[in-house]
Amino acid sequence: MTGDAIRMDGKVAIVTGGAGGIGAATARLITARGAQVVIADIMAERAQALAAELSGALAIALDLEQESSVEAMIAQTVAHFGRLDVLHNNAALLGPDIAQADGDVEHMATALWDRTYAVNVRGTMIACRAASPHLVKTHGNIVNTVSNLALQGHLIQAAYSSSKAAVIQMTRAIAASHGKQGVRCNAVAPGMTMTPALREAFPSALRQVVEDETLRDQLGDPQDIAEAVAFLASDAARNITGQVLVCDGGGASHVPGISGFRSFFAGEH
């Protein structure tokens, strides 16, 4: 391994949910580091617009609820570029309306639960399954976007958080089953990240609650998560597999109520 191991020259990477937020930031970053990128998204026009900005990028329309769409994404990538080195499963069911409806289990709609798992878990599994033979050939890797909510209990987002916990276990399973074939699989767990979608979905008062529990002086942004993804996807992380890299500004690392303790010891009680 050389000092340029963070570079991705000659590698082909798929970024699902690549048209906006964390996905777009990741697509831009790994392109800058030399990769040829597939931007796969259900928002096809936005994917095409981003691909037009990035040298050598390809846009593919993707619907994770449709098995044929996921399999076609992998097939089109390999047909176009001749190889696949990185699969970044970043897409998830998480729009403002979905976030508002995804509360606790007592009030959970079965249809929302099923759709969340269909997109976040089943769709991710199909992508990994279809990509695996190609990743074995290139000794490539998978990076799954999960969430710090998959590691903690919360009052809301029971469907989303539990689906991401399932993806964490899938990450470990793939790392175990395919490691000796040269395939790594890791996950990145963001906390609340200041994407445009988040600004729509969460009131500022709730964002402030999360920011108060963050150990940094601000919430993370998409570039912060993209840097973590790009590292895990690169040869610089060749000895890392089956791991969850938590990128939440320290929010999941401390005892509950730290902001209240901070106020108490500052004499604000």
Among this protein's residues, is 117 annotated catalytic?
A: no
At 266, the amino acid letter reads A
Instruction: Work out the angle at residue 28's Cα, subtended by the Cα atoms of residues 22 and 30, and round it to the nearest 5 degrees.
Output: 95
Locate tokens 């209240």: which residue? Answer: 260
> What is the C-alpha to C-alpha distance for residues 95 and 202, in angstroms, rounded to an integer?
10
Catalytic residue among 11, 160, 168, 222: 160
Q: What are the start-end ranges of the H helices in the chain?
A: 21-32, 44-53, 67-81, 96-101, 110-117, 123-138, 158-178, 196-201, 204-213, 222-233, 258-265
Maximal C-alpha separation, the chain: 64
Tell which phi-psi region holds residue 56, choosing left (phi > 0), alpha (psi between -120 and 50) or beta.
left
Read off the tokens for 95.
């729009």
Q: What is the DSSP letter of 156?
A: S
In the 3-class helix/strand/coil scheme, how is 185-214 assigned residue by residue? EEEEEECCECCHHHHHHCCHHHHHHHHHHC
Q: Which residues are identified as catalytic?
A: 160
